[in-house]
Amino acid sequence: MHLDDFHRIEMRTDRATGLRAIFALHDLTLGPALGGIRRWAYPDDNEALADVVRLARGMTAKNALADLPFGGGKSVVMAPGSARPGHRCGPPSRAITVPELHKLGEWIDDLGGDYVAAEDVGMRVSDLVTAGTRTAHVTGIGRAGLGGDPGPRTALGVFTGIRVVAERLGFPNLAGLRVAVQGLGSVGMALCKRLHDAGARLAVADIDAAKVARAKERFGATAIPVAGAMLADVDVVAPCALGGAVTVEVAQEMPARAIAGSANNQIACPQAADTLRRRGILYAPDYIINAGGVISAGLEYLGRDGFDERVCGIGRRLERIFDEAQATGQSEAKVAENMTQRVLASATERREAHHAPAALASVA
C-alpha cells in the first residue's frame, strides 16, 4: 500500500476494554475528514488497514464531488468474529459495548476535530449517540432536528441515480426495470422499497435468509444466491453490501447493462472498469451515487438544511460523468477520478492565492 498521500493514520488499542481501531485521515484540503466508522471482523491488522485506506480515499472523492467542505477519512474497529468461507472478513460476533463506545468517542475527540465520524457497516446510529457523549465530532444522529440516520438518505441518492441510469438504458421510467440488489441492510432494503413502489422488478441476495424472505414478501422479489448476484440476468445490478464485487472476471461475464449501487469501492481494479467500458456496461461511480448519506451527515454537522436540493445534484453529476465518458472513451470510474482531482487542485490554488499576499508582504 502507498500511504504517502495520507494526512494521518493511527492504530489505537485500549487494554481495559479490548477496543482496537484504526483511524485514517486521507486528505484535508477541503476541510476536516468526514467518514463513517466500520466495525467488522478482520482476519488480521493488514486487512483492516487495507480496508480503511481504500475507504478513506473514497471519502475524499465522495465529499469533494458532493461539494461538501470536508476532506476524506474513515475508521475501522476490529471486532471479534470470523470470516465466512471464501471471504476475508465477516460480521462481528457480538454487539459493541458502552465502555467501548465511550473510549471510541474519546479517541475521536483526541483527533481535535480533524475527523468527523458517522455510522457505517457494523455500527448503529444509537452507537454514535453513545460515542457522542464523549465528543462533539460525530454526526448522522439527528442533532438539532437535522440529518439523522444516513441509511435511508443514501438509498434515496442511489434511487435518484438509478432513475438516471434507467433513462440511459432507454426506460422512460422504472416500471419493468429488472434490478438485482445485493445486500439488504438499511440501505439495500430502503432502496428495494423505493424501486418496488416505482414499478421495478426485483431480485435480491443477502447472507441473512430472514431479510431475503422479508423482501420476497414485501416486494415480490425473487431470491438469488449471494455468490451469483453480480451475474444475475437483469438490467441493473445494485451492489449494496461490501466492496470489490466487480472483478475483471465479473466485468467480462455479467449480463446486466448497468451497475448502480450503494457499496463503497465496488470496482476491484482499474482493469475491471475498463472492461465494463469496452462491453458498453454503464457504471455509476459508487462515491457519486451513494453520497446521499454523507450529504445528510455533513449538513447536520454544519447545522444546515438543504438536503433535498443537494441530493438532486447526484443525478446531474452522473449525467456529466456519463456524457464525458462517452465523449472521451474513458471509463466512468476514470472520469470521476479526474473530476475529483480537479476539485482538489482548484481548492489548493484558491488557498495558495489567499495566502500569497501575506507571504509577499512578510518578505518585503
Active site residues: 74
CA distances from 185 to 64, 211, 225, 243, 293 (A): 26, 8, 16, 14, 14
CA distances from 293 to 27, 107, 300, 305 (A): 20, 23, 11, 14
CA distance 138 to 143: 10
Sheet holding 33-40, edge to edge: 8-13, 20-27, 71-78, 33-40, 115-119
Q: Which helix H or strand E contains 62, and what residues bound it?
A: helix 45-65
- The x, y and z cell numbers of residue 242, run together, are 461490501
Torsion (CA) 309, 311, 314, 319 in degrees, nearest 10: -40
CA distance 210 to 135: 36
Q: How many CB atoms lie within 10 A of CB 173?
A: 12
SS3 at position 255: coil
CA distance 99 to 215: 35
Q: Are 314 and 288 in contact (CB under 8 A)?
A: yes
User: Left, alpha or beta for 240 (phi > 0: left; psi -120 to 50: alpha)?
Assistant: alpha
Strand 71-78 vs strand 33-40: parallel, antiparallel, or unpaired?
parallel
Q: Are 30 and 68 in contact (CB under 8 A)?
A: yes
Q: Which of 74, 77, 95 is nearest to 21 (CA)?
A: 77
